[in-house]
Amino acid sequence: MTVAKQQKTSIMPMVILGVMFFTFGFTSWVNSILVPYFKIGCELNHFQSYLIVFTLYLAYLLMTMPAANILRTLGYKRGIMYGFFTVALGALIFIPAAWLRSYPVFLVGSFVIGAGSAMLQAAANPYVTVIGPIDSTMKRMAIMGICNKFAGLVAPLIFAAVVFKVTDSALFSQLGSPDLNAATRDGMLDALVRRVMAPYGVFAVFLVLVGLLIRFSSLPELNLEQANKASGEDNGGRRSVFGFPYLVLGVAAMFAHIGTQVVTIDTIISYAQTMNMSIIEAKVFPSYTLSLVILGNILGVILIPKIVSQTRVFQICCTLGLLLSVGVVWGNWGVTLLGHQSQASIWFLVGIGLANSLIYGGIWPLAIRGLGRFTKTGSSMLVMALFGNAVVPLIYGWIADNASLRQAYMWILLPGFLYLIFYAFVGHRIIRWK
């Protein structure tokens, strides 16, 4: 794809990419919401249950570079097809895992899903970057973000309707009874876990169909090396991907962003409970954060690039994130908002969803510009940074256990946004190491 062909973004490629980002979101959110379910069904402790998600993101770290080599060999469209097939295989592995009620097999399925998702992410993000004008990349990323987060809203509804039942509370109470004999208990747990077999089977078929659709679609095959040469930048004779400071610093920025994002969403229920809210009241707070993320993406679609440049939006979002983080740490006065009595701190935490909404799309085009033949490797390095989804919550939890929740937010959010501000204003401009 050349620059001349980038000047106008066609609708069909955007639709196809939107389906891909919806699928990413659906896969991630389904696995996350089923963690408590698998915890009960496989009789796991907290650490074991969270290893299911950890294993998924571990695959991003270990398999993204091999995925880049596969994309280099097969091409992007065929690579995307095989990526969807790999995710489908992981979903199918969940079927025997549920039948056997085997925790190790669930871990294998989760890793395979992560490996396929790593290939898809490594392919999809460069498409969004070069499928249209470079100065509106964040706008296209915002559209993809809407698709991704919309999946986060519908995935719990779909799987809750299919997997969970209104009688489950009584079932869980029975399972906790000391009078229940082992054989009856095993039978009840088998029936509980096997509910996921049909949904994951349907999901696997859907993934295969999407993979075939994209393989034979009108989505153009990419030549990222040629696209970068045509953009007027070259690799300056550099022999390694690590010779591009703005990429290396961008990978660190992506890790910092992923860390701040996952902490603000995944910990907010526990934080609300420290303010004397019941879990029934507290469970709506992730939806508030997610709603602001979607709002931010909508604003990005409207404003970029005609009203404000994507780099300026990136800088604004990083600065806003830091200011809101200060509010999280020191906002200890009481407020009543949307029917919730709480400290202001939690609403600053909700507000970070708006700040985070466009940071991902801001980092990507700045980090992979002008990489030439290193573009696929650079894209893969950015995808590897998604491993922050697994690592940062563990760091947060350790600090929270040994200090306090606010101390944990302080040591995660403030350094994270300070570094993002550095990259937004300075880091992305560093062309060569000095």
Count of other CB atoms within 10 angstroms of residue 232? 8
Q: Which domains does the chain have, with CATH numbers?
A: 1-222 (1.20.1250.20), 224-429 (1.20.1250.20)
| pLDDT 10s digits, 364-400 | 889 988 887 787 788 888 988 988 888 888 888 888 8
Write down how long the chain is: 434
Rounded CA separation 273/337 (Å) = 16
Task: Please list, in sequence order, all residues whose beta carbon lies within 8 angstroms of the beta carbon of residue 222, skipping any fewer than 6 positions away.
Answer: 1, 76, 126, 127, 130
CB 200 within 8 A of CB 94: yes
- DSSP three-state, residue 284: coil
Q: What is the per-residue pLDDT for 246?
A: 95
Q: Which amino acid is at 392?
A: V
For β-strands 340-343 and 334-337, DSSP reports them as: antiparallel
Q: What is the pLDDT of residues 173-229, one digit of tens each?
A: 676 667 777 788 778 877 877 888 888 899 899 999 988 988 887 777 666 555 555
SS (H, E, C) 57-104: HHHHHHHHHHHHHHHHHHCHHHHHHHHHHHHHHHHHHHHHHHHHCCHH
Which range (81-85, 215-219, 250-254, 315-319) has the least confidence? 215-219
* pLDDT at res. 166: 60
- Residue 375: name the closest of 249, 227, 232, 258 by CA: 227
Listed ranges 141-155, 305-319, 373-387, 391-405; the one with the highest mean pLDDT: 305-319
Query: Which pLDDT belongs to residue 4?
Result: 39
Average pLDDT score over residue span 97-114: 89
Residue 8 CB contacts under 8 Å (≥ 6 apart), including other chains = 132
Alpha helical stretches, state H, 216-343:
224-230, 245-266, 268-273, 279-282, 285-303, 310-330
Phi, psi dihedrals of residue 234, rounded to the nearest 5°: -135, 175
pLDDT at 38 over 80: no
Whether residue 5 is predicted with pLDDT greater than 50 in this model: the reply is no
Structural contact between residues 224 and 369, judged by C-beta atoms closer than 8 angstroms: no
Q: Residue 7's pLDDT is what?
A: 43
Cβ contact 83:67 at 8 Å: yes
CB within 8 A of 149, min separation 6: which ones?
A: 25, 290, 293, 294, 297
Amino acid at 270: S
* Contact in structure between 88 and 204 (CB atoms under 8 Å): yes
Share of the chain above pLDDT 70, in %: 86
Interior/surface letters 74-101, b for 16+ CB within 10 angstroms, e for the rest: eebbbbbbbbbbbbbbbbbbbbebbeeb
Q: How far apart are the first and last CA of the chain?
A: 33
Q: Say how far apart CA 319 and CA 423 lie, in whole Å.
A: 11
Reported pTM: 0.79
* Cα 173 from Cα 154, distance rounded (Å): 28
Q: Which of 131-135, 157-161, 230-234 has the highest mean pLDDT?
A: 131-135
> Which amino acid would we find at residue 377?
T
Q: Identify the top-confidence range among 16-30, 174-188, 379-393, 419-433.
A: 419-433
Q: Please tell me the predicted confidence (pLDDT) of residue 168.
A: 63
pLDDT band, residue 93 (cuts 50/70/90): very high
